[in-house]
């Protein structure tokens, strides 16, 4: 097999397995075997293990598209962009749950203290969430494209990750609509999925002008 066939198989397998595991039947089956509060921890451990396997078997193409010279302004910009985008990804978890809740740490602590586990999702519309519904997915998607070295295989990964992120975000949007009902449907009308909609852009510019006028 060629490098791109192996890498494509790795990405397709990872995406398929993880997509199946996040379905309601899979979650119900998990809760019959393990306690419900351990779901996030179990998924994070499984995700980390499969990600490591994917990295170990990943095949480099050996062909470079571009390489930013270490120490150059563009290299520093790319490195700073990666750090910033990763930080914003973690920060934006606060609008749906928290980063530690996503990891399952809050559920574990609540279990040890004999308390009720926190709700998995909450509708928290403020900041950037007033314009896009899944900002943490948006920043993570851009993170995949900010690397200072781009090869054929990393380009394949970036394209595959972007497609996977969009499909996963679309399914998450449907799941939250089922949870929050009309409240989420009203929220959807004025916001974009991962990028601001025309209405959201208009509102953003209006908010900026109002803030400037207030100053």
Q: Cβ(103)–Cβ(93) under 8 Å?
A: no
The verdict on residue 11 lying in a domain is no
Give residue 165's domain range.
65-214
- List average pLDDT for each run of 10 residues in the chain, which is 215 residues long: 95 90 86 85 88 95 96 96 95 73 70 70 81 93 96 97 93 89 91 91 86 71
The verdict on residue 92 lying in a domain is yes
Q: Please report the pLDDT score of residue 43 as a whole number.
A: 85
Q: Please report the pLDDT score of residue 67 as a whole number.
A: 97
DSSP secondary structure letter of residue 61: -
Q: Please report the pLDDT score of residue 179 as a whole number.
A: 85
pTM for this one?
Answer: 0.84
The verdict on residue 194 lying in a domain is yes
Residue 63 CA to residue 181 CA, distance in Å, equals 49
Structural domain count of the chain: 1
Q: Please report the pLDDT score of residue 3 as a whole number.
A: 96
Quickly list DSSP for 94-123: GGTS-HHHHHTHHHHHHHHTTPPPPPS---
The verdict on residue 4 lying in a domain is no
The verdict on residue 25 lying in a domain is no
- Using CA of residue 55, residue 48, residue 119, residue 30, what is the dihedral sign? positive
Q: Please report the pLDDT score of residue 100 as a whole number.
A: 65
Q: Please report the pLDDT score of residue 35 as a whole number.
A: 85
Q: Return the closest-CA partner of residue 165 out of 126, 185, 135, 124.
A: 135
The verdict on residue 156 lying in a domain is yes
Residue 43 CA to residue 139 CA, distance in Å, equals 21
The verdict on residue 31 lying in a domain is no
Q: Please report the pLDDT score of residue 182 as a whole number.
A: 92
Q: Cβ(3)–Cβ(59) under 8 Å?
A: yes
The verdict on residue 6 lying in a domain is no
HSE-CB at 157 with a 13 A cutoff on CA atoms is 23
């Amino acid at each position: 097999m060629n490098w791109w066939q192996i890498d494509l198989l790795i990405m397709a397998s990872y995406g398929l397995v993880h997509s199946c595991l996040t379905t309601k039947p899979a979650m119900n089956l998990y809760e019959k075997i393990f306690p419900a509060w351990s779901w996030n921890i179990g998924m994070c451990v499984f995700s980390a293990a499969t990600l490591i396997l994917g990295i170990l078997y990943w095949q480099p193409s050996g062909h470079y598209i571009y390489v930013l010279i270490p120490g150059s302004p563009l290299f520093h910009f790319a490195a700073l962009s990666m750090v910033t985008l990763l930080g914003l990804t973690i920060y934006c978890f606060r609008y749906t749950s928290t980063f530690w809740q996503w990891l399952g740490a809050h559920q574990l602590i609540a279990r040890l203290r004999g308390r009720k586990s926190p709700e998995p999702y909450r509708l928290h519309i403020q900041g950037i969430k007033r314009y896009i519904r899944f900002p943490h997915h948006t920043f993570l998607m851009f993170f995949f494209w900010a690397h200072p070295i781009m090869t054929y295989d990393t380009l394949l990964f970036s394209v595959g990750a972007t497609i996977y992120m969009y499909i996963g975000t679309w399914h998450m949007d449907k799941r939250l609509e089922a949870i929050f009902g009309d409240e989420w449907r009203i929220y959807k009308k004025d916001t974009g999925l991962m990028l601001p909609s025309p209405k959201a852009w208009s509102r953003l510019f209006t908010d900026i002008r109002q803030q400037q006028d207030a100053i």
